[in-house]
Amino acid sequence: MAKRDYYDVLGIQKVASDDEIKKAYRKAAMKYHPDKNPGDKEAETKFKEANEAYQVLSDKEKRAAYDRLGHAAFDPAAGGGAGGAGGFGGFGGFQNVDIDLGDIFGDLFGGGFGSSRKRNGSRKGQNVECEANISFMEAAFGAEKEVTFRRFEDCKKCSGSGAKEGTSPKTCSKCSGTGTIKTSQQSMFGQVMQTRECDSCRGTGKIIEEKCPLCKGKGKVIRNVKKKIKIPKGIDNGQAISLRGEGMHGENGGPAGDLVIHVSVRPHELFVRNGFDLYYDMPITFTQAALGAEVEIPTVDGKVKFKIPEGTQNGKVFRLSDKGIPVLNGRGRGSLYIKVQVEVPVKLSREQKELLREFEKLGTQNTNAQQKSFFAKASRSA
């Protein structure tokens, strides 16, 4: 069977960069690795094929020769100048291939297949989450609140080293402080390098002979922390505030994580919020709706006077601009929308009933426009 083009094997263009070649190889290797496809001969063949393509294309001289002559560059029978370079004539000819499977397959096997990730490197601390329960008005205009949370911090007694006071961790003699052990073995793919975590220091590169009595050699202690935070004006229920560097302390000099405060806003007894706008149902009497009136309207800034126009209908909506919620991290404010709810009397005295009947007799020529329009349409459709 004729060999496939190496670029086609890895699914890349001939102008691919070294980084693109490496990424394509990793993708193919993870897909066709025998450990992931036990007993699958086709996958095993494709894995070898990807290995061969990578060993050629990742080497500048071999890649240049391949680009000039193709597969013949590595076939002595074809007179290729690189035919003796490592026996690249067939899938089984990788006798001197140096493949670090810990680097290639660490992600695939979750670090269990020779992962080269080191625990002794600097790492950012984890984020910490907590909740702040605030009132509707505190969300509208901001506030200062105190939150309580728990986080791991560097042990103050040993300054995070984990060693007893007056002592210090020693460099692991087994891994020379690298935190990893490299081993090589012969396989069907040639000489394979594997990287695993040092079992003596557990990947830290350090040995603690005398542990700190406070943190028991961990270098970290958990503490309850109280911190005052500023609630920005305009924040809404379900939003979060992030404070950089207030989370878990980092490892080996790494930066601390963040503190993420999830905001929970208690509802208001009168206002309903939608974005930065507020909505309020305002009850008025039948007389106020018919004759008009000046009333006091509650807002988040306090009460304001508002004139109800004569003849206001039930359900009418009025808008008061700039009486809503301040815009979060911006300028301006939303609006307050007032929906009129005309209250119809439930229990009337005999005198009140007589007055209403008298009012009805006086004529409704100019008072029931909607009713007249309805009956006019109904009569036309009858």
Kindly compute the dihedral angle of the four CA atoms of residues 129, 130, 131, 132, in this order, to the nearest 10 degrees.
-110
Which pLDDT value is given to residue 102? Answer: 46
Fold classification of 6-97 is: Helix Hairpins (1.10.287)
Specify the pLDDT at position 325: 97
Burial of 32 from C-beta contacts in 10 A (0-12 / 13-18 / 19+): buried
Q: Which ranges in the chain are annotated with CATH 2.60.260.20?
A: 272-381
CATH 1.10.287.110 residue spans of the chain: 6-97
Is residue 118 within 8 A of residue 181, CB to CB? The reply is: no
pLDDT at 87 (0 to 100): 40
- pLDDT at position 192 is 66
Q: Can you spell out the DSSP letters for 30-94?
A: HHH-TTTSTT-HHHHHHHHHHHHHHHHHTSHHHHHHHHHHGGGGG-GGGT-TTTTSS-TTSTT--
Instruction: Walk along the chain (382 residues) in steps of 10 and give the mean pLDDT of each run.
Output: 87 91 90 81 89 91 90 68 41 41 45 47 87 96 95 90 91 88 66 78 87 91 93 96 92 88 96 96 93 94 95 95 94 96 88 86 62 54 52
Per CATH, the number for 128-265 is 2.10.230.10
CA distances (Å), origin 349, targets 283, 355, 376: 22, 10, 34
pLDDT of residue 72: 83
Query: Phi and psi for 319 in degrees, rounded to 5?
Result: -120, 130
DSSP track, 207-268 = E-SSB-TTTTTSSEEEEEEEEEEEEPTT--TT-EEEETT-SSPPBTTPPP--EEEEEEEPPP
Q: Is 117 helix (H, G, I), strand (E, B) or coil?
A: coil
| 272-381 has CATH 2.60.260.20 classification | yes
Strand partners, 349: none
Q: What pLDDT score was predicted for residue 378? A: 52
Question: For position 191, what pLDDT does the model report?
Answer: 61
Q: Please give the pLDDT value at position 252.
A: 77
Could you give the residue range(s) of every CATH 2.10.230.10 domain in the chain?
128-265
Query: Measured between alpha carbons, how far is 176 from 185 in angstroms, rounded to an integer?
Result: 21
DSSP-assigned beta bridge partners for residue 341:
283
Given this model, what pLDDT does residue 95 score?
Answer: 39
Burial class (CB in 10 A: 0-12, 13-18, 19+), 193: middle
The number of beta carbons lying within 10 Å of the beta carbon of residue 358 is: 9
d(CA 133, CA 130): 10
